[in-house]
Structure formats: C-alpha cells, structure tokens
Amino acid sequence: MAKGQVSSVPVATAAAAVAAAPVAATATTTTTTTITTTSITTPTDTTTPTTTQQQQQQQQQQQQQQPKDVPEGMSVVAEGSASILMPKDKVFYNPVQQFNRDLSIVGIRAWSNLHQKTRSKKTKPDSTNGPTNQDSNSSSEVSIEEKKNTHENAHENTHENILDDNPRDAKKPRVDEPRYLEILEALSASGLRAIRYAAEIPTAKTVLANDFSAAAVESIRSNANFSNVSTLVQPVHGDANALMYSRKSSPVHIVDLDPYGSATPFLDAAVQALVSDGLLLVTCTDLAVLAGNGYPEKCFALYGGQTLYADARHESALRLVLGTIANTAARYGLAIEPQLSLSIDFYVRLFVKVKRSPQTVKLNASKTMTVAHCQGCGATTTQPLGKATSKKGQTKFGYARVTAPGSECPLCKGPVVVAGPMWAAPIHNHTFIDEMLSVHASISNDPAVAPLYGTLPRIQGMLSAARNELEDVPFYVNVQSLASTLRASSPPHRTFLSALCNAGYRASYSHAQAGAVKTDAPYNVLLDIMKAWIIKDQDGKLSKNLKPGSPGYAILQTPKPTMEINFEDHPRALELEEFRKSKLVRYQVNPTKNWGPKAKASG
C-alpha cells in the first residue's frame, strides 16, 4: 500500500521510532473536555498528504506494534509515524500538506532543543503571558464536562484538568524532563498533525487536539488509539479561542494554528496561551487576499495593512502576517521574534517566538513600515513608522523622517501607491534555522526514521534558501521583470549579480520566488545595471516595442548609466550561481492535477 493511500485490509500501526524517549510506564487518564459556548464554528485543518510506496514499505518493515484490524467501512492513511482511520466514502487528502507537517515537526524539535539549552540551568517555572487568576475573568461562561477512563494506577500519574484556570494546581513540568512539551493544536480535524507531534517529537508530553466538531473529536480519539498515542493526545471538544483563553494562567509551550483561510481570528487568544519564549506556528491560506490585488479592503480588515501587489508580494504577505501578530501581542506586553517565515505553494507558514518583554514592545514602531510602490517601473521605497536610537545602553524613541517619494515616481514618472503597514525587521532567525538543519540532518542520517519523512529534500532546500537570504533587506526583485519594463533581454543571473557585487552591494536569492534577487542596492542602481547591459548586449539600441509614454521609455530617455558598471565575475556571484544550480529542492513541482487548497471541512 502506498503511503497516503487507503486500504481496507488489516494493517500494522506505525512505529514510534521517531519518538525515542519512551512514554511513562505508569498509566495515565484519557481526558475529553467539552466546552459549551456561543461561539461560531471555527475553521479546521482539512488537509492530509501522501508519500511514496517505497517509503510505506520501509515504514512497515520498521513497525514494532502488532497489526490492528481496520473497522468495516474504514480506510487507513499512513503518514510519518501515524496511521489514521477515515471513512472509505470520505477520504480527503492533500499530498502537498505533508511538507507543512514534516517541517513543523522539525521546527518544534529545534525549538525544544534551543529551549532546553537556555533553560536547563534555571529552576524557575515558565512565566505566563496572561494575567493572574484574579484578572482572568472570562466574558463568557464555560461549562466543563470531563469523562475520564482511568487505567490501573492512574491515580499516581493523572493529567491535570486542561481548562483549569487555577495556577495553584498547575504543575508545570521542568524542561529537563524527557517529556515536558505541552502542545496545543487549536484546529485539529482528523488529528493527524497532533498524532504525529505526539509520536515524532521526543519531548512531547501532552498534545491538546481541539476541534469544534463532535465527530472530529471522536475521530481524533479513535485515531490516537489506533496509532498508540492515546496517553499523549488529549482530544478537546470546543471553541478554539475559548480553549486558548482558558490557558492564560497555565500556558503551553507550543500553539499551532492551521486554519482554512486566515488565522487572524485566533491570534489574540493564541499569544496569551503561550509561555514566555513559547513558539507560535501560523498558517494562512488566503493568499488571494494577502498577495493579490483584488481585495485590498479585506486585507486591511484582516491584517491591518494594504497588500503590495508587486513581484515581492509573497514576502509582503509574510510581513503583513508578522505585523498583525506583533500588534496583537503588543497589547499584552508581548514581543515577537520571527524564527522562520516561509511562502510555500498556496499558503504562508510562520514560526514565531512570543516573549514577555514590555521594553522590546516599544521597538515595534521602528520595526513597522509602509511601502511606496511605483506601478510603472516597480521601484519600492520603505518608510519606517518609528525611530529607535541606542546610545550607551539606553534606547531613545522618536518619530521617523519621511523617506518615501511623492505621488509621482522620480525614475519613470509613474503613479506611486502605498502598501502596509507591515513588519520591517528580519523574518528569519539564523540560530533557529541552523538548529532546524541540525535536526534535519539527524533525521536524514537515521535509517529507521528517514523513510517516514517524504519531504526531507525540500525541507533542506527551503531552509538553506531562507538561511542564505539577506536578513536586513526587505523584498526582492525579479530580473526578468526589470528587463521586461525596458523591453530588453534579461542578463544571466551571474552577470547581474556580479554587477551588483562589483558595485559594492550585497545580494542573495529568495526562497519565495525562483530566481528572485534580494539586494541592498537602491532601485536606480538596478536600472543603471540594466542600461549598461543594453549597451553591452544590444549595442545600446532600444527595442522597437518600447512605446512613448511607457515607464521604460521614460527611464531610457537617459540611456547611459550614472555610474560605472563592471560585469566581470565576482566570487559572491559565482557562489550564488553554484547554490542556484545545486540539486536542493526549493520549489514545489505540481504533484497532481488540480492540486492546492481543498474545500473547507463541513460537519
């Protein structure tokens, strides 16, 4: 049976090879909590992927558990160390989303490694992001009904009430325990992600798998039992926000939001449900809003900023989401530290550390910008909203001076529009990415574990691309778009990059678009390089397709560059060219016909 395909014959449940740390020998209770609220149904994660038949065969060879009979009318889908049951007539999978789950497991393991290194010598319990119990009065009544199936000796090791707002009874685990991580998946659907977290993250102690649908919660329970992780996965039936708000006084280490559409309705509750330095994982699939030009009013309503409809719109989408998270967290004295921000296929996926630091929150204005974008030639100019100056250990805050041009582009006389506000600071953390690459290497080098991951090559490729990006340069340019504006041929990547580096500027590629270039060179320098290229490649002759009144025509009224351009090979350009031609998988090749986001789950 190919991994991700379905079967009606008995199959073995997946091995727990990834989770090397054993589950506690003492029995635990399995708790299901029901929350009665007036909230509307929340979006749910409805995507599950497939992998190759070879990987499935290798996984079956490693399985250590006894086979289980598949209930009549049910089919089995295996991914990673999880095997889940689904009705034969409602098998619903998206193979592309396995990358999301594989990447998330690597990211959480990396965060756990770094968290243990920094906290191992500290004995203080994790500080909370929410207010004290006296200040955490809920605006809506929540009734809790617990149904506990107690195993033998369960009184020696029972789960705490997952919705208990009383910190006196909350026993926060020490970070040096083999299993200490508390993970909250707010929109769990089938529970596949939660089950994989429990089975494949060695430090996972509890995974709260929540869904608003009673049928989904029952599916989570049966799937957790089927994959032998019922002592780690706790199904929760209720509103996602109600659950997260209830954890303000007993916060978790990880919150994962993977909704259908935008994650903004859940951000306020999510940032308050995390311990200080906790990790927030966010998926948004509404790229038509975040990266399109058809819904600027909806983008502003959801994310508090206008879209940047330009070549760099997918990075702009990441920065809009980060800006929303930062503003949401700041209300509670919480600062964000983006760890990894990726534009992937039809969605964005972000790993964001949330830390209690009212002092750092004061930097938010200087980390926020608007963008002036020329609709003619594509030039962009960033405008910070605040200014922060550090001197002798003291930080002074003030107003930022205007840097953006007026309503007319000085380069081509085209109209200038405004995008944002959005996040202006770095969107990746090199230390975090390096740790993810280390975790990736340990998985890849383990013959018992590597076959369970179907997307390891792409994880390495995407992480390597993100790691090599210029971290202090917002946005990227498309060389072909520059050439198209001037109706000229596009210079080879090595030639263009060499000209940039020889002029004293830095350059890198972007993970978000194949061949896109990030550089700290101003836009007029890019145009000078193109002018020099036209002289070199076309003997200075302009294209007959260059029409009067067009942006390119206006730019080439001054045909000669204003600076000397050197196209000789530069070592950095050769290095980037070698990286571009490497066999690292960075961009998804469509695996199936009509692939992409599936319809929202119903029921």
Closest by CA position to 163, among listed 180, 140, 142: 142
Sheet containing 368-374: which strands, arranged edge to edge?
A: 380-384, 368-374, 416-423
| Phi and psi angles of residue 254, each rounded to the nearest 5 degrees, phi first | -130, 135
Identify the pLDDT of residue 175. Answer: 56
Task: List own/partner pairs for 563-568 with CB under 8 A and 24 or more apart.
Answer: 563/503, 563/525, 563/528, 565/499, 565/502, 565/503, 565/528, 565/529, 565/532, 565/533, 566/498, 566/499, 566/502, 566/503, 567/495, 567/498, 567/499, 567/502, 567/532, 567/533, 567/536, 568/498, 568/502
Cα–Cα dist 216/237, whole Å: 9
Q: Strand 181-185 to strand 252-257: parallel, antiparallel, or no bridges (unpaired)? A: parallel
DSSP state of 408: B
Beta strands in 190-270 (DSSP E): 204-211, 233-237, 252-257
Identify the pLDDT of residue 599. Answer: 52
Ordered by where they begin, the domains of the chain are 476-580 (3.30.56.70)
Identify the pLDDT of residue 16. Answer: 39
Contact status, residue 75 vs residue 2, Cβ threshold 8 Å? no
Identify the pLDDT of residue 424. Answer: 98
Identify the pLDDT of residue 549. Answer: 94
DSSP 77-132: EEETTEEEEEEGGG----GGGHHHHHHHHHHHHHHHHHHHHHHTT--SPPPBSS--
Identify the pLDDT of residue 51. Answer: 41
pLDDT digits (tens, 9 = 90+) for 393-408: 899 999 999 988 889 9
Taking every pair of C-alpha atoms in the chain, what is the biggest distance, in angstroms? 86
Low-confidence ranges of the chain (pLDDT < 50): 1-67, 130-171, 173, 595, 602-603
Task: List own/partner pairs for 117-121 with CB under 8 A and 24 or more apart.
Answer: 118/277, 119/175, 120/175, 120/176
Cα–Cα dist 409/550, whole Å: 13
Identify the pLDDT of residue 154. Answer: 34
Cα–Cα dist 600/603, whole Å: 10
Q: Strand 252-257 to strand 274-284: parallel, antiparallel, or no bridges (unpaired)? A: parallel
Q: How many C-beta neighbours within 10 Å does residue 215 have?
A: 10
Residue 372 is which amino acid?
Answer: A
Identify the pLDDT of residue 260. Answer: 92
